[in-house]
Structure 1
């Protein structure tokens, strides 16, 4: 009885994932490098200034939230510090979530009132 070795499939899958991650890192380095050459090293929100020493804390934010939209002129990028970048994405997610919430049907109207006849019940006990 022969068994197929699952390793080649897993190995091929692992290679695919590693290649995709490597390509993504190269893309990110590419647009990050371009943005850092193009724009002053200042956060676009809080105006914190950066040097080579703390440059790792300056990120490239995609204005339209599409990380694959990287025009050579940098029109979809802005430099944001880690904190402002995180805040921007939190606000974006809250906006998206609120949009989903508003599309839900309204809560059902309550038609039963357990206290409707309370006054007559209290009067009956007197």
Structure 2
């Protein structure tokens, strides 16, 4: 009976994704196997964890780092702009790092 329960058990999205996709992070391209396979996670592309189509079209395998980065980007995009409105954000930079380069290149070198 224990075998029947295991075979009838619905597989998690991660288990299904690991069967469907190569064990490579979809963002950074790192390959995973053996003990490191636990660092590969399933990311829901539409961020809806209830949307689990059997063909895996809403999933991608991401390493822990890329998965965290993906969710951080999503959180930042969802937060309202908290920057003070008194400072313009699109002000061009006035810094010119090579302004005096020509003068530096023309300097005479000291004899050694």
Q: What is the TM-score normalised by the length of structure 1?
A: 0.56
Give the deviation of 1:101 after TM superposition. Answer: 3.2
5+ residue gaps, structure 2, are 1-8, 87-112
Question: 1:23 aligns to what?
Answer: none
User: After TM superposition, which residue ranges in structure 1, 4 or more long, deviate above 2 angstroms?
Assistant: none
Question: 2:97 aligns to what?
Answer: none
Equivalent residues in 2 for 1:1-126, closer than 5 Å = 30-97=12-79, 100-101=80-81
Partners of 2:56 and 2:40 in 1: CA distance:
16
Q: Find the structure with the greater CA-based Rg.
A: 1
Question: 1:114 aligns to what?
Answer: none
Between the two structures, name the one with larger relative contact order (CA 8 Å, sep ≥ 6): 2
Root mean square deviation of aligned Cα: 2.2
5+ residue gaps, structure 1, are 1-25, 109-126
Partners of 1:91 and 1:30 in 2: CA distance:
25
More helix by share: 1
After superposition, what is the alpha-carbon deviation per residue over 1:16-66, rounded to whole angstroms, capped at 9, x for unaligned? xxxxxxxxxx87x61110000000000000000000220100000000001
Give the deviation of 1:107 after TM superposition. Answer: 5.8
